[in-house]
């Protein structure tokens, strides 16, 4: 087999492998992903589904009861508060008013967070708005 | 708190104006440099090229002046500078005052532009008498990027805005950033990003000028190596910080911002290898120009991701004003380079073809494919929320398990290739030689896998097993290469084993430095595989005096103490760790509570409602780490805090502090059960030591400039070649 | 005060940056040959390294005798071309 035909064959094989892998990637990513929702969207979503809930911790709503953490989460503007119950690692920056992401399901009006799925965003470093508020 | 007029106000105002003026002048210099360079490049008038080079030097000097003014303002607590007021305070330690500059959007843009100007100055100075066709265009690209970032500062994120009247105290640095790792991490990352612009600029220059041989690669090789090294340091520091300082216990979370630094590093790795093929064999030219443009675009993308709020991430903040322009720049770079490359395809034809699979060229080509594939997987996963939103209208996100599933197989193959690359020669490796070279490494692989299957439960973790096996392959292969360095030289020169080995390595630092880096990577991957597949992870709830068993260890919660200082309240747990009845160590994981400035929390409550950080209790051994974190339950204090807020509201601060101390003491004497997280991490330290250390040492060794000894060797070769030519040429 | 300082700095920078423009256009052919020479020297060093590496690979047994002979003569021919180029350039410059 002359070299250029060998090369063409190698190219076809490589491309086919790439296409197959890419297809596999795309297909599985849709099934493996969780949909991200804000509290206002959660109320209209399919009940019983697992979602990644993003929002702000409602000030004054945090209570620790033993192993469990309960708080309320709202949209960025403070509307549509939803109660959340969660157990697992609580990230260091977690407190009132922080933006958080928690994955779980809505059960009987309360969002039950999966273990260790709570993520708290670092306090805002990169807004170019001004003066002096530290939180 | 009453606001006083700072009596330095007049001087501070002048300095902010001067700083802004320096920025404006730097922008003018950058714009002029770009214009003069383009004009000089098109007309061939060297005077304009020289003038543009001087304009770049001036840009560097002006930005240095701006940085000095800002840092001095931080050191002097000039809160008339809005940036200083927002990110520093009189109580911030001096070291963190200096590093606070880049904790802000404005300051980090200034850092980017400043490092870019310094690197541009260096490369233009070094190449001032060479590459006449390329340098003008490279200058224009670098000056153009510089002017973009300076323009961002002037129009969107002004570092020198003035506060009048100046507050008497600043907001201080976020506690999470009061950490040496976090102070050094941004400059390392930005240096990494910035240094990639140098080979990028020279590549664009080479494409425009149609000087498509390896000269642009040779000139910028050390900058590419520096960029790769700094990005690597940034990744190592960031992961170490996450492991040591956060109460989470992991070192990598596939967070978009982490991925934003990893992707250019991976693509840059492909670039560093692929350019070797062009230099030695004249192939993969299209790959190389594409890889460097892609790497630089990813660097800009990384800079963009942290600031745009486009993706949900620990670091991605609300939409900021610089996101849009950065995205536009990324689009210009991506589209512009694609158009340029396609238009020069005829000049990028390979000088040879790969004629054997058993050659280093073909190994490097597969290596390119693996690394690009890895970057595409990570890119897909990182941007999936946006991709899915585009196609389905809903934002779907992918988490660590998905990344691990697709990254692991590619990573395992890459471990194998870190051993294969060094073994193969440029050009065809004979079959018998291949068998001989692969024998011992293959034996090591099989032996390692067998031993692990027999001696541990690695059988249930096949990926880790393959990593260990392939890492053994790589390490034995690399050891063989070092051995052969000595024996081949000895065969040629007759020196003793030790001298031959030493000189052989010293004469070829680039190659053997690279092998040291490969060894480091093998150790990094061993550390990652062991600490993720063989981890023991327990969440405990312990009362004082209680103990629990984690793996082979018994953890006993002895007591709680507190350490209140003016800066923060610390609750320190004291743990005794034993194994088989014998004491192993004492650990003191703690939790720090920084006071909040929020008046609604109340005078007492604000000490408990502010930022909270973890002090990890860590015992590091070569064989594995014992990692502990502590989360006290402060909810029992709530009634007292509420009462204290009410009753002590009007009292002087001294009385309030006394009450807080009393409250803390009372809690410490009778604490409720607390939550602990205990992680046993086998071999995790190998990621940083020896892994990271070898990677950095190897990179330094590879980049070390050549010495006198090369000239002697050159003279010898010149003489031999001259004899064969029939003309004796003088050595230069 | 700061305005004066800023103006002074801008003037200094402008003077520094435009200095080359006030020279006569330099003799280009001479400068170009120096740059070409440096470029050829770099390519020569890279080629020497390749020859050395091939020799080491051969001694280590990675390259068969036949493959080595082919590679070596190819590299040496390329090196000779570079040396010839350097000599031609030197002659033109009158070294």
The per-residue pLDDT for A127 is 37
Same domain, A16 and A46: no
The SS3 call for residue B500 is: helix
The stretch C36-61 carries a mean pLDDT of 84
Is A52 in the same domain as A116?
A: yes
Q: Are B166 and B80 in contact (CB under 8 A)?
A: yes
Q: Which residue has the higher pLDDT, B385 or A127?
A: B385
| Domain assignments of chain C as residue spans, ordered by start | 28-93
Average pLDDT, integer, range B645-658: 81
CA distances from B388 to B74, B259, B331, B381 (A): 44, 18, 21, 11
What is residue A34's three-state secondary structure?
strand
A22 and A70 in a common domain? no
Beta-carbon separation of C62 and B721 below 8 A: no
Is A56 inside any structural domain? yes
Q: Which of C17, C20, C45 sits opposite B58 (nearest CB)?
A: C17
Nearest chain A Cα distance for residue B82, angstroms: 7
* Statement: residue A87 has pLDDT above 80: yes
Q: What residues of B are in contact with residue C43 (Cβ under 8 Å)? A: 213-215
Q: Which domains does chain B have, with CATH numbers?
A: 1-172 (1.20.120), 179-398 (no CATH), 425-533+692-725 (no CATH), 544-672 (no CATH)
Per residue in B69-88, pLDDT (tens digit) is 999 999 988 888 988 888 88
- Asked if residue A126 belongs to a domain, the reply is no
**Domain co-membership, A68 together with A82:** yes
> Within this chain, do residues A7 and A64 fall inside the same structural domain, yes or no?
no
pLDDT recorded at residue B296: 96
How far is the alpha carbon of B132 from chain C, nearest alpha carbon, in Å?
Answer: 7
Residue A39 pLDDT: 87
**CB pair distance less than 8 Å for B397 and A14:** no
B191: left (phi over 0), alpha (psi -120 to 50) or beta: alpha
Report the pLDDT averaged over residues B24-33: 95
Q: Per the CB < 8 Å rule, is A32 touching B156?
A: no
Residues forming beta bridges with residue A57, ordered by sequence position: A73
Q: Are residues A18 and A63 in the same domain?
A: no
Question: Is residue B625 scored above 90 in pLDDT?
Answer: yes
Q: How much is the ipTM here?
A: 0.87
Overall number of domains in chain A: 2
Contact B312 A36 (CB under 8 A): yes
Helices (H) and strands (E) in chain C, counts: 3, 0
Partners of B431 in beta bridges: none
Position A135 pLDDT exceeds 70: no
Verify whether the Cβ–Cβ distance C3 to B17 is below 8 Å.
yes
Identify the chains in contact with C, defined as 3+ C-beta pairs within 8 A: B
Question: Of the candidates B355, B598, B677, which has its C-beta nearest A89's C-beta?
Answer: B677
> Across the A/B interface, how many CB contacts are shorter than 8 Å?
144
Beta-carbon separation of C80 and B15 below 8 A? no
Nearest to C56 among B47, B488, B717 (CB): B488
What pLDDT is attached to residue A68?
Answer: 81
- Mean pLDDT confidence for B82-98: 87
Give the length of chain C: 95
pLDDT given at position B726: 57
B78 shares contact with chain A (CB less than 8 Å) = no
Higher pLDDT pick, B684 / B503: B684
CATH number, position A110: 2.40.50.140
A75 within a domain of the structure (yes/no) = yes
Q: How confident is the model at residue B409 (pLDDT cuts 50, 70, 90)?
A: very high
Q: Is C80 in contact with B25 (Cβ distance < 8 A)?
A: no
Out of B109-123, B290-304, B490-504, C7-21, which region has the weakest mean confidence (pLDDT)? Answer: B490-504
pLDDT at A99 over 50: yes
Based on the domain organization, do A22 and A68 belong to the same domain?
no
Pair A8, A53 in one domain: no
Instruction: Tell me whether residue A130 is in a domain.
Output: no
A2 vs B94, higher pLDDT: B94
Highest mean pLDDT among A61-70, A105-114, A123-132, B316-325: A105-114
The reported pLDDT for the residue numbered B9 is 47
Rounded Cα distance, B210 and B199, in Å: 16
The whole-number average pLDDT for the span A59-65 is 78
> What is the least distance, in Å, from the CA of B131 to any CA of chain C?
6
Average pLDDT, chain B: 87
Query: Which residues in chain B touch residue C10, judged by CB atoms under 8 angstroms apart?
Result: 21, 25, 28
- Which residues on B lie below 8 Å from C2 (Cβ)? 14-15, 17-18, 21
User: In angstroms, rounded to a whole number, what is the distance separating the alpha carbons of residues B143 and B181?
Assistant: 31
Asked if B429's CB is within 8 angstroms of C59's CB, the reply is no
Q: Do the Cβ atoms of A52 and B103 come within 8 Å? A: no
Predicted pLDDT of residue B227: 95
Residue B5 or B704, more confident:
B704
* Interface contact flag, A88 B539, Cβ < 8 Å: yes
pLDDT band, very low/low/confident/very high, at B643 (cuts 50, 70, 90): confident
**Touch of A by C (3+ CB pairs closer than 8 Å):** no
CB contact under 8 A, B725 and C3: no
Q: For residues A28 and A45, state if they share a domain.
A: no
Contacts with B27 (C-beta within 8 Å, 6 or more apart), sequence order: B147, B150, B151, B154
Closest to B82 (Cβ–Cβ): which among A32, A123, A131? A131
pLDDT band at B239 (very low <50, low <70, confident <90, very high): very high
Long-range CB contacts (within 8 A, 24+) of B657-661: B659/B604, B660/B564, B660/B569, B660/B604, B660/B607, B661/B564
The answer on A51 and A8 residing in a single domain is no
Q: Is residue A129 part of a domain?
A: no
Q: What average pLDDT does the segment B420-441 reach?
A: 87
Q: Under an 8 A CB cutoff, do A101 and B312 touch?
A: yes
Domain holding A69, by residue range, is: 35-120
How far does the CA of residue B171 sit from the closest CA of chain A (Å)? 6
Residues A59 and A44 in one domain: yes
Better pLDDT: B174 or A70: A70
More confident of the two residues B200 and B348: B200
Residues B499-512 have pLDDT tens digits of: 888 888 888 888 89
| Residues in C touching B430 (Cβ below 8 Å) | 62-64, 67
B279 to chain C: nearest residue by CA? C46
Buried b (16+ CB within 10 A) or exposed e, B559-582: ebebebeeebbbbbbbbebeeeee
pLDDT at B713: 57
Same domain, A46 and A100: yes
Contact assignment for B710 to C42 by CB distance below 8 Å: no
Nearest to B18 among C2, C13, C67 (CB): C2
Query: B76: number of CA atoms within 13 Å, CB side?
Result: 16
Does A128 reside within a domain?
no
- Determine what percent of chain A is predicted with pLDDT higher than 70: 87
How many CA atoms within 13 Å lie on the side-chain side of B553? 25
Percent of chain B whose predicted confidence (pLDDT) is above 70: 93
Res B565 pLDDT > 70:
yes
Residue A134 inside a domain? The answer is no
Q: Who wins on pLDDT, B729 or B270? A: B270
pLDDT band at B658 (very low <50, low <70, confident <90, very high): confident
Going by pLDDT thresholds of 50, 70 and 90, the confidence category of residue B729 is very low
Question: If pLDDT is split at 50, 70 and 90, which confidence band does C27 have?
Answer: low
Q: Which residues contact B699 (CB under 8 A, 6 or more apart)?
A: B225, B228, B229, B232, B513, B517
Q: How confident is the model at residue B309 (pLDDT cuts 50, 70, 90)?
A: low
Query: What is the average per-residue pLDDT within B353-364?
Result: 85
* pLDDT, position B320: 64
pLDDT tens-place string over residues B134-156:
999 999 999 999 999 999 999 98
How many C-beta neighbours within 10 Å does residue A29 have? Answer: 19
A133: confidence class by pLDDT, cuts 50, 70, 90: very low
Portion of chain B with pLDDT greater than 90, in percent:
48
What is the distance in angstroms between the Cα of B57 and the nearest Cα belonging to chain A? Answer: 29
Q: What is the pTM of this model?
A: 0.89
Is residue A133, in this structure, part of any structural domain at all? Answer: no
Smallest CA–CA distance, residue B614 to chain A, in Å, is 7
Model confidence pLDDT, tens digit, residues B364-399: 999 999 999 999 999 999 988 888 888 888 888 888
Are B320 and A14 a contacting pair at CB < 8 A?
A: no
Q: Between residues 27 and 56 of chain A, which touch chain B (CB distance below 8 Å)?
A: 28-30, 32-37, 52, 54
Q: Is B195 within 8 Å of B224 (Cβ atoms)?
A: yes
Cβ pair B105:A14 closer than 8 A: no
């Amino acid at each position: 087999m002359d070299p250029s035909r060998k090369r063409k064959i190698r190219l076809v094989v490589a491309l086919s492998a790439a296409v197959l892998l890419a297809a596999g990637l795309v297909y599985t990513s849709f099934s493996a992903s969780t949909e991200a929702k804000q509290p206002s969207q959660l109320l209209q979503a399919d009940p019983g589904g697992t979602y990644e809930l993003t929002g702000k911790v409602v000030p004054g709503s945090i209570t620790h009861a033993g192993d469990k953490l309960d708080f309320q989460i709202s949209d960025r503007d403070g509307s549509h508060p939803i109660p959340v119950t969660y157990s697992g690692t609580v990230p260091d920056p977690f407190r009132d008013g922080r933006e958080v992401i928690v994955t779980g399901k809505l059960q009987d009006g309360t969002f039950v967070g999966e273990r260790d799925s709570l993520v708290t965003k670092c306090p805002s470093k990169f807004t170019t708005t001004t003066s002096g508020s530290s939180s | 708190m009453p606001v006083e007029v700072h009596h330095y106000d007049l001087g501070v105002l002048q300095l902010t104006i001067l700083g802004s003026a320096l920025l404006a002048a730097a922008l003018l210099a950058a714009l002029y440099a770009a214009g003069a360079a383009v004009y000089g490049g098109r007309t061939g008038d060297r005077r304009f090229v020289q003038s543009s080079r001087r304009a770049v030097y001036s840009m560097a000097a002006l930005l240095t002046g701006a940085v000095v003014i800002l840092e001095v303002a931080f050191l002097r607590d000039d809160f008339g500078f809005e940036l200083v007021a927002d990110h520093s305070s009189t109580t911030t330690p001096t070291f963190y005052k200096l590093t606070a500059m880049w904790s802000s959007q404005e300051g980090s843009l200034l850092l980017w532009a400043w490092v870019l100007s310094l690197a541009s100055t260096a490369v233009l100075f070094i190449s001032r008498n060479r590459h006449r066709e390329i340098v003008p265009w490279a200058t224009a690209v670098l000056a153009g990027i510089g002017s973009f970032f300076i323009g961002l500062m002037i129009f969107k994120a002004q570092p020198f805005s003035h506060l009048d009247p100046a507050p008497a105290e600043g907001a201080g640095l976020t506690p999470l950033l009061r950490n040496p790792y976090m102070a050094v991490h941004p400059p390392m990352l930005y240096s990494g990003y910035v240094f990639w612009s140098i080979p990028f600029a020279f590549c664009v220059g080479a494409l425009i000028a149609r000087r498509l041989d390896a000269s642009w690669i040779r000139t910028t090789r050390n900058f590419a190596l520096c960029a790769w090294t700094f990005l690597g340091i940034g990744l190592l520091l960031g992961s170490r910080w996450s492991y040591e300082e956060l109460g989470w216990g992991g070192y990598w979370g596939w967070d978009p911002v982490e991925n934003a630094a990893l992707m250019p590093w991976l693509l840059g790795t492909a670039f560093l290898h692929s350019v070797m093929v062009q230099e030695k064999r004249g192939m993969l030219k299209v790959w190389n120009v594409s890889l460097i443009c892609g790497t630089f675009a990813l660097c800009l993308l990384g800079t963009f991701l942290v600031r745009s709020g486009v993706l949900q991430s620990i670091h991605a903040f609300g939409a900021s004003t610089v996101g849009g322009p950065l995205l536009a720049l990324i689009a210009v770079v991506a589209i512009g380079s694609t158009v340029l490359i396609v238009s020069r395809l005829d000049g990028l034809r390979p000088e040879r073809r790969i004629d054997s699979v058993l050659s280093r060229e073909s190994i490097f080509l597969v290596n390119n494919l693996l690394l690009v594939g890895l970057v595409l997987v990570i890119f897909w996963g990182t941007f999936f929320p946006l991709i899915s939103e585009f196609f389905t209208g809903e934002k779907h996100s992918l988490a660590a398990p998905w990344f691990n599933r697709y990254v692991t197989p590619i990573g395992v193959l890459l471990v194998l290739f870190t051993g294969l690359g060094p073994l193969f020669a440029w050009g065809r490796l004979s079959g018998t030689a291949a068998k001989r070279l692969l024998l011992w490494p293959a034996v090591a692989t099989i032996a390692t896998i067998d031993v692990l299957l027999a001696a541990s439960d690695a059988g249930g973790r096949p990926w880790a097993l393959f990593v260990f096996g392939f890492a053994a392959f790589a390490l034995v292969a690399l050891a063989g290469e070092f051995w052969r360095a000595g024996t081949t030289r000895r065969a040629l020169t007759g020196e003793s084993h030790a001298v031959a080995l030493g000189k052989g390595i010293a004469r070829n630092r680039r190659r053997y430095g690279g092998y040291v880096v490969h060894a480091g990577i093998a150790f990094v991957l061993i550390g990652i595989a062991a600490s993720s597949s063989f981890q023991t992870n327990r969440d405990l709830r312990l009362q004082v005096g209680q103990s629990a068993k984690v793996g082979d260890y018994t953890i006993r919660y002895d007591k709680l103490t507190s350490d209140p200082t003016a800066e923060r309240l610390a609750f320190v747990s004291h743990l005794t760790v034993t194994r088989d009845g014998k004491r192993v160590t004492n650990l003191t994981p703690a939790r720090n509570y920084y006071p909040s400035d929020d008046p609604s929390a109340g005078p007492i409550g604000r000490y408990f409602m502010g930022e909270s950080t973890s002090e990890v209790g860590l015992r590091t051994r070569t064989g594995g780490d014992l990692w502990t974190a502590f989360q006290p339950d402060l909810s029992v204090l709530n009634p007292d805090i509420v009462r204290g807020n009410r009753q002590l509201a009007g009292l002087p601060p001294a009385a309030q502090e006394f009450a807080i101390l009393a409250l803390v003491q009372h809690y410490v004497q009778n604490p409720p059960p607390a939550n602990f997280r205990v992680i046993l991490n086998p071999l995790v330290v190998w990621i940083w030591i020896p892994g990271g250390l070898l990677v950095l040492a190897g990179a330094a060794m590879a980049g070390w400039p050549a010495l006198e000894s090369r000239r002697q060797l050159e003279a010898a070769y010149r003489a031999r070649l001259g004899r064969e030519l029939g003309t004796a040429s003088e050595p230069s | 005060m700061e305005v004066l300082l800023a103006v002074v700095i801008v003037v200094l920078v402008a003077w520094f940056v435009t200095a080359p423009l006030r020279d006569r256009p330099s003799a280009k052919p001479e400068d170009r040959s120096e740059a070409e020479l440096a470029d050829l020297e770099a390519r020569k060093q890279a080629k020497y390294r390749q020859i050395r590496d091939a020799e080491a690979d051969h001694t280590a047994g990675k390259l068969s005798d036949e493959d080595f002979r082919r590679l070596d003569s190819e590299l040496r021919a390329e090196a000779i071309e570079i040396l010839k180029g350097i000599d031609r350039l030197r002659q033109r410059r009158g070294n």
